[in-house]
Amino acid sequence: MTTANLHVVVCGGGLAGQMTAAALGAYACPTLTISWLSEGKDPDTDLFYGHLAPPDAYRFNLACRVAEPDLILHSQTALSFGTHYRHWGAQGLDWVQAFHQPLPVLEGVPFHHYLTQQGQGALEPYLVSALAARRGVFAHPPEDRNHPLSRAEYGYHFEAADYGRRFERAALSAGVRRIEAAIAAVEAADGHIRAVHLSDGQSLTADVWIDASGPHAALLSRLVPETLGHRRLTARQVRSDAPPAGGGVTVVTGMPEGWQAQTPLRAALLTLTVSEADSATPADASARTATLTVGQRRAAWAGNCVGIGQAACVAEPLTPAPMILLQRDIERLLALLPVTADLSVERREFNRQAEVDYAHAGLFMRALFTAAPLDGSAYWQAATAEPEDARLRLKIEQFESRGLPVAFDLEPFSREDWLILHYGMGRRPARYDRTADRADPARVEAYLAAQRRDIDGVARALPPHHQYLDGLTGYLRQQQGQTA
Amino acid sequence: MRENPEAIKSVCILGGGTAGWMAASALAHKLQGLPVSVTLIESEEIGTVGVGEATLPHIRSFNAALNIDEVTFMKATEATFKLGIEFCNWGRIGDRYIHPFGDYGTPIDGIPFYQYWLRLKQMGEAGRLDTYAYPIAIAEANRFRHPASDPAQIESTFGYAYQFDAGRYAAFLRRFAEGHGVIRHEGKVVDCQLNPDNGHVAALKLDNGAVIAADLFVDCSGFRGLLIEQALKTGYDDWSQWLPCNRAVAVPTESRGGLTPFTRATALEAGWQWRIPLQHRTGNGHVYCSSFISDEAAHARLLGNLDAPTLADPRQLYFTTGRRRQFWNRNVVAIGLAAGFLEPLESTSIHLIQEGITELLQIFPDKHFRQSDIDEYNRRMGVNFERVRDFLLLHYVATQRDDTEMWRYFRNMTLPDSLEEKIQAWLTRGHLIRYEFGVFLPPSWVAVMLGQNLIPRHYDPRVDRLSSDEVRRAGDALKQRVSAAATATPDHGAYIRKMGAASDTVPLLAKGA
């Protein structure tokens, strides 16, 4: 193999396979051949990707040739300002983990220090996306930086199979060769995948194998059978096809046995319930169910096989982490597409980045369980069984001490995500940047009041999420010359 | 305003060089209006090193935060604009390249332009990488303009810094700081009084009998680290194994020839030589390793290389590269040479001062001096120092030179793992291992590695999505844009004059160029 000739085979018919095929397809050319073995379509295990994609999905999707208008016109995908957590932990915490751009820095002092100075405990009145989410309203953030809504960010509500079809279509349009057969046998030797034999008698060979087959990791598990993590969770999804009343936010409700997320799509409501695998929850015949061990494979890339998505790491879908990690896995793969038969440099760098990403995402997930635990809840006990990582302690300690963000290189969750989470968990800095005291307190108070008023006014003026999407759909159809 | 009994009421800065007055200015400005006194102790008998005359673009944000007017500042400090650093003889003798403050071209399909250049190179059709970078094109032609605000214009694709007289910058900032309430004490420290309960520095006694007490001390006393080391015995991590240069000799010369908007670093047999053009003079120096050359030979080498008559006698400096084990210990924060020293090959000295000040302002303590604050400050500054160290070391090891003992020393060196992996990823496929925190971003690494002939064996295969013709056309179009824009850019000296930033003392006015 040389730079001039690379054959990649993607294995997996679920969301990870579809997205990987589309992402690679965008770079298909005579020297990069992509085959896609789309075995195992719409697997139940895709429930563990959750139903919320992060704001960065817009850019990621576009690079895969999946534009937002395409999603709006041809899928059930809806728009989202974030997650509303309710009844969380023993204190019954309630906050909107909103997607939001950085808050302003005023006279060299980060915004939230003025809240501490003024003794204000609530951040949410200053987060336009959080207020809009609570009201179930939506509009795209405008480019005008003076408009309060311009600080909002948004992601997508999706159902894996429906969302994945747009990627599948993009992959096929880009010339990815799809093979619809089941894997009969995997031939591995010397730490490498040598061939995959299919149910139709074909045998595949490749320079690089992309294992996007889900948590069982049909290929990678042959090279790396060991996984780290032992906690088993069950996810159950019920779909209601009645048009949802609200929209624009996923609502996660804490329960003793775990949590439940309600995610409104265009014309359906998805209810996902996650609990410990062995907890006794009444079965629902209409529910799709998957039980997985959360954690990661010992190596995401071994030999000539790269694990993408759940093949490498299964995260609990309590935050957008599973989708953030999936997107990052794919982008990391693109940036490290092999150039020679010696994959050692690519493998080392891929695994290094993957390790760091999984660990950093884990910090954010673990931080959700630093709230007072629910007494007697096996779910909370298991979620807090592992001690807090030193980096997480540092983040919490510095925030509680002085509102200082502690960040590490290229974390998947931004400083704003952390700031909103800290406030959501009920933490308040004990001290503030004393240079905030230079400002006239009356002026600061008036400024904050004006901010709250403006943001509230904007949120009140926005249309309901479904109404906005209907209008947007009509507009897009008109643009495309279709009948509304 | 509420009074917090735990709030720091007094800050004392020891040392009045670049670091001292930068710290004093920033603290005075930031704390203005608060009940905090800022004092600075310096002695006219103790010379300053005048660390660094060349800067990085970040210095602009430091000045901007103080609301310093660019024209006033440039006039006062004999400043010129700086678009990057020209490195001569680093990869091989006879090589030269410019490390610009900006990128090469613009990404195509989200892939950096240099990857397309690597493909053009494999096709045998790549021009010098420098010809695809606007800041390099204008630097080589001694031209300058401020960056355009429209990101679509090629003239927006760069940053800039300054080359200035560090002594005058310190004096300029002294006026600023004193204007903002900083009290200056003239005198030498003869005794450092420690609080017996907690080991904190309580007060400094001066040779004139004055005793200066403070809650927080900022040690800008230079290499000696009068407080951080001599009083608190903090310890020093010696990085000589990686950066063995330990001496420098500096000499100013007359300003001659065109006013180059870049600093020059020329690799020599046992170190390297700098050339920094200011308005009123040119700064020159030879950084060298005493294991490989004598002081006399080093002086002779410098004097023999000058392109203009000297204006003063050569000045000798001694140092050990490395960093203080703790930049912040108890109630003392070391900034500048007291914090550590990394040779000024990439103009990082003033930048590291700036970082130290910025972090101190962010993590400004109260009288509790919580260990968590101290640890976080030290963690952040440690990352900064280590990443600069790796980048500096890259210059010495990304080379084909083995003509002297020093270059052979670097050839046989075991690199820090972080740097070794970075170089391997680059050589294999032009991949840059990125980080978020640290001053040198990917374009800087690209500039040095390609400039010193570390040519990757392969390029990013995604580049092949474009046909050879498309890549060729993209390259040609970029080159033409760069060239046309550079031709329309004003002369550097003329631009300084036109904006009113030429100093009154200067031959620049008479230069006419």
Q: What is the pLDDT of residues B254-285, one digit of tens each?
A: 988 889 999 999 999 999 999 999 999 999 99
Q: How many pairs of residues across A and B have Cβ atoms under 8 Å apart?
A: 99
* CB contact at 8 A, B317 and B21: no
Binning pLDDT at 50, 70 and 90, where does residue B52 land?
low
Residues of chain A found within 8 Å of residue B457, distances taken between Cβ atoms: 339-340
B433 touches chain A (CB under 8 A): yes
CA distance B32 to chain A (A): 7
Q: What are phi and psi of B305, to 5 degrees?
A: -100, -5
Residues of chain B found within 8 Å of residue A26, distances taken between Cβ atoms: 465
* Average pLDDT rounded to a whole number, residues B478-489: 97
pLDDT at B49: 64
Binning pLDDT at 50, 70 and 90, where does residue B53 land?
confident
Q: List A294's β-bridge partners, or say none.
A: A231
B110 touches chain A (CB under 8 A): yes
- Digit-coded pLDDT (tens) for A294-327: 999 999 999 999 999 999 999 999 999 999 999 9
Report the residue count for chain B: 513
Pair of tokens at residue B267: 């690799």
pLDDT at B4: 82
Using only the alpha carbons of chain B, give its radius of gyration. Answer: 24
pLDDT at A246: 84
A63 touches chain B (CB under 8 A): yes
CA distance A285 to chain B (A): 46
The CA distance from A18 to A61, in Å, is: 12
pLDDT at A123: 98
Contact criterion met (CB < 8 Å) for B4 and A434: yes
- Digit-coded pLDDT (tens) for B402-447: 999 999 999 999 999 989 999 999 999 999 999 999 999 999 999 9
pLDDT at A245: 81
Query: Which CATH number goes with the domain that contains B219?
Result: 3.50.50.60
For A434, the closest of B7, B425, B433 (CB atoms) is: B7
* Average pLDDT rounded to a whole number, residues B316-331: 97
- CB count, 10 Å around CB of B487? 11
Contact criterion met (CB < 8 Å) for B110 and A63: yes
Q: How many CA atoms lie within 13 A of A454 on its CB side?
A: 13
* CB contact at 8 A, A330 and A20: yes
CA distance B438 to chain A (A): 10
Where does residue A225 rank: exposed (0-12), middle (13-18), buried (19+ CB within 10 A)? Answer: exposed
pLDDT at A482: 58
Chain centre to alpha carbon of residue A92: 24
Binning pLDDT at 50, 70 and 90, where does residue B513 land?
very low
Where does residue A97 rank: exposed (0-12), middle (13-18), buried (19+ CB within 10 A)? Answer: buried
Q: What's A88's DSSP letter?
A: E
Pair of tokens at residue A422: 């800290």
* Average pLDDT rounded to a whole number, residues A390-398: 97
For B461, the closest of A32, A108, A394 (CB atoms) is: A32
B436 touches chain A (CB under 8 A): yes
CA distance B464 to chain A (A): 7
* CB contact at 8 A, B100 and B132: no
Q: What is the ipTM of this complex?
A: 0.94
The CA distance from B414 to B395, in Å, is: 15
The CA distance from A357 to A351, in Å, is: 10
Identify whether B82 is a catalytic site residue: yes
Q: According to CATH, where is 3.50.50.60 located in chain A? A: 6-81+158-228+297-358
* Average pLDDT rounded to a whole number, residues B166-175: 96
Contact criterion met (CB < 8 Å) for B428 and A401: no
Chain centre to alpha carbon of residue A75: 19
Is B395 within the bounds of a domain? no
Average pLDDT across chain B, whole number: 95
Residue of B nearest to A60 (CA): B110
Q: What is the DSSP string of B120-157?
A: HHHTT----GGGG-HHHHHHHTTB--PPPS-TTSGGGS
* Average pLDDT rounded to a whole number, residues B117-138: 94
Crossing angle of helices B417-429 and A344-367, rounded to 10°: 120
B386 touches chain A (CB under 8 A): no
Binning pLDDT at 50, 70 and 90, where does residue B509 land?
very low
The CA distance from A180 to A202, in Å, is: 11
For B424, the closest of A30, A345, A408 (CB atoms) is: A345
A143 touches chain B (CB under 8 A): no
Find the DSSP H helices in A245-320: none
Pair of tokens at residue B213: 């007490």
Flag whether pLDDT at A45 surpasses 80: yes
* CB contact at 8 A, A81 and A99: yes
Contact criterion met (CB < 8 Å) for B461 and A335: no
Chain centre to alpha carbon of residue A448: 32
Contact criterion met (CB < 8 Å) for B425 and A345: yes
Contact criterion met (CB < 8 Å) for A348 and B465: no
pLDDT at A285: 78
pLDDT at A399: 98
Where does residue B313 rank: exposed (0-12), middle (13-18), buried (19+ CB within 10 A)? Answer: exposed
Binning pLDDT at 50, 70 and 90, where does residue B512 land?
very low
The CA distance from B39 to A201, in Å, is: 84
Where does residue A241 rank: exposed (0-12), middle (13-18), buried (19+ CB within 10 A)? Answer: exposed
CA distance A435 to chain B (A): 6
Flag whether pLDDT at B393 surpasses 80: yes
Residues of chain B found within 8 Å of residue A441, distances taken between Cβ atoms: 1
Where does residue A81 rank: exposed (0-12), middle (13-18), buried (19+ CB within 10 A)? Answer: buried
Give the three-class secondary structure for B391.
helix
For B462, the closest of A30, A337, A397 (CB atoms) is: A337
Q: Whole-angstrom distance between the N-terminal and C-terminal Cα of chain A?
A: 51
The CA distance from A309 to B468, in Å, is: 34
pLDDT at A242: 81
Q: How many domains does chain B have?
A: 1
CA distance A347 to chain B (A): 10
Pair of tokens at residue B199: 């080991």
The CA distance from A272 to A261, in Å, is: 5
Flag whether pLDDT at A112 surpasses 70: yes
pLDDT at B257: 84
The CA distance from B391 to B419, in Å, is: 8
Closest CA to A400 of A360, A427, A381, A419: A427
Please state which CATH number belongs to domain A6-81+158-228+297-358. 3.50.50.60
Candidate list B9, B30, B75, B82, residue with the active-site label? B82
Residue of A nearest to B359 (CA): A404
* Binding-face residues of B in 319-378 toward A, CB within 8 A: 362-364, 366, 370, 372-373, 376
**Which residue type does A396 have?**
I
Pair of tokens at residue A193: 């995948």
The CA distance from B83 to B76, in Å, is: 20
- Digit-coded pLDDT (tens) for B355-364: 999 999 999 9
pLDDT at A286: 83
Note down the domain range covering B196.
10-53+165-236+324-386
The CA distance from B361 to B355, in Å, is: 10
Residues of chain A found within 8 Å of residue B458, distances taken between Cβ atoms: 3, 339-340
Handedness of CA A438, A442, A446, A448 (dihedral sign): positive
Tokens 């390793």 label which residue? B289
Contact criterion met (CB < 8 Å) for A334 and B462: yes
Report the residue count for chain A: 484
Pair of tokens at residue B217: 């001390």
Classify B412 in phi/psi space as left (phi over 0), alpha (psi -120 to 50) or beta: alpha
B434 touches chain A (CB under 8 A): yes
- Digit-coded pLDDT (tens) for A219-230: 999 999 999 999
Is B293 within the bounds of a domain? no
What percent of chain A is predicted at pLDDT more than 70?
A: 98
pLDDT at A484: 42
3-state DSSP of B270-334:
CEEEEEEECCCCEEEEEEECCCCCCHHHHHHHHHHHCCCCECCCCEEEECCCEEECCCEECCEEE
pLDDT at A1: 42
Contact criterion met (CB < 8 Å) for B461 and A108: no
Q: What are phi and psi of A244, to 5 degrees?
A: -70, 150
The CA distance from B19 to B333, in Å, is: 12
Contact criterion met (CB < 8 Å) for B458 and A434: no
* CB contact at 8 A, A286 and A253: no
**Which residue type does B247 have?**
R
Q: List A204's β-bridge partners, or say none.
A: A196
Contact criterion met (CB < 8 Å) for A108 and B30: yes
3-state DSSP of B384-447:
HHHHHHHHHHHHHHCCCCCCCHHHHHHHCCCCCHHHHHHHHHHHHHCCCCCCCCCCCCHHHHHH
For A3, the closest of B373, B376, B459 (CB atoms) is: B459
Contact criterion met (CB < 8 Å) for A435 and B31: yes
The CA distance from B503 to A362, in Å, is: 56
- Digit-coded pLDDT (tens) for A321-346: 999 999 999 999 999 999 999 999 99
Quote the Cα angle for B190-B193-B199, to 5°: 140
- Digit-coded pLDDT (tens) for A411-457: 999 999 999 999 999 999 999 999 999 999 999 999 999 999 999 99
* CB contact at 8 A, A130 and A460: no
